[in-house]
Amino acid sequence: MARIAYVNGRYLNLAEAAVNIEDRGYQFGDGIYEVFFAYRGRLIDEALHFARLERSRQKIGLEAPMGEAALRVVMHELMRRNRVETGLVYLQLTRGVARRDHAFPSPPPRPALTLTVRPKPEPPEELSSWGAAAITLPDQRWGRCDIKSVNLLPNVLAREAAKQAGALEAILFDEAGVVTEGASSSVWIVGADNILRTRALDQHVLPGCTRAALLGDVAAEGMDFREEGFSLEALRGAREVFITSATSFVKPITRLDGLPVGNGAPGLLASRLYARYLARLKEG
């Protein structure tokens, strides 16, 4: 079945879906995006994703192409046309088409809104098959990683380095040796002190929606938790490491820079949080 994309008000076969060569997203990476996980027809953590989209949009001064309710209709229509109930919905919004000049075009062009959908298998019932390897790398991104910008070259290079090393994710650390996040995920550890930690939000990390949702689960489980940064050494000495994102859900990191994390199997806290995550998916 042909895949269908949404391009500025039209539903088109992916092969015919195209944007103008002078689109500022293409020319400058002048745009933002969101990735939603859809589970059996429902968009997971959708309020969090829409709120982040809105914040990213305002931070780069883009006009809203349509209201949230209309956007929701488009997303569900695109899922219906692609016959995807469980999968990923990718949304991109750029400053639109204008003669190439760095500063914002005046008057502002119509922002370009494009969406695609692709199927993704349901999360596994068991965490044992879901663990992955990661490497560590210096964070070479810009100073506003809180904006979900389409400028992803450092993330792309980090993920390629991970792939070359036989790993899935690259966990990034800043110049002070403090972990920021993964190239496309939030990072959590359970330290030698048994405390669960993830970095507090600032301009150097993306406020993960899966992270935000999981904070509720952490509280409900009564886990010993601190929202604070941790060093590369703490990461290396952690009992458990896991990442979260709309695409990886809760994913244990069982090997780090070629060495096993803990006993090399998904940890207890990751397993409990994953069970909560699955329960939330199913409850709706």
Q: What is the 3-state secondary structure (H, E, C) of the chain?
A: CCCEEEECCEEEEHHHCCCCCCEHHHHHCCEEEEEEEEECCEECCHHHHHHHHHHHHHHCCCCCCCCHHHHHHHHHHHHHHHCCCCEEEEEEEECCECCCCCCCCCCCCCCEEEEEEEECCCCCCCCCCCCEEEEEEECCCCCCCCCCECCCHHHHHHHHHHHHCCCCEEEEECCCCEEEEECCEEEEEECCCCCEEECCCCCCCCCCHHHHHHHHHHHHCCCCEEECCCEHHHHHCCCEEEEEECCCEEEEEEEECCEECCCCCCCHHHHHHHHHHHHHHHHC
With CB under 6 A as the contact rule, the residue among 35, 64, 161, 275 that binds ligand PDD is: 35
CB of 109 to ligand PDD, least distance (A): 25
Q: With respect to ligand PDD, which residue has the nearer C-beta, 52 or 95? A: 52
Size of the site for ligand PDD (CB under 6 A): 14
Q: With respect to ligand PDD, which residue has the nearer C-beta, 98 or 158? A: 158
Q: Is 211 in the site for ligand PDD (CB under 6 A)?
A: yes
Q: Is 136 in the site for ligand PDD (CB under 6 A)?
A: no
CB of 214 to ligand PDD, least distance (A): 9
Q: Is 53 in the site for ligand PDD (CB under 6 A)?
A: no
**Residues known to be catalytic:** 148
**Strands 186-190, 196-198: pairing kind:** antiparallel
Q: With respect to ligand PDD, which residue has the nearer C-beta, 27 or 198? A: 198
With CB under 6 A as the contact rule, the residue among 30, 46, 139, 181 that binds ligand PDD is: 181
CB of 166 to ligand PDD, least distance (A): 21
Q: Is 56 in the site for ligand PDD (CB under 6 A)?
A: no
CB of 161 to ligand PDD, least distance (A): 15
With CB under 6 A as the contact rule, the residue among 184, 198, 254, 271 that binds ligand PDD is: 184
Residues in 236-275 that interact with ligand PDD by CB under 6 A: 244-247
Q: Which positions touch ligand PDD (CB under 6 A)?
A: 35, 181, 184-186, 206, 208-211, 244-247
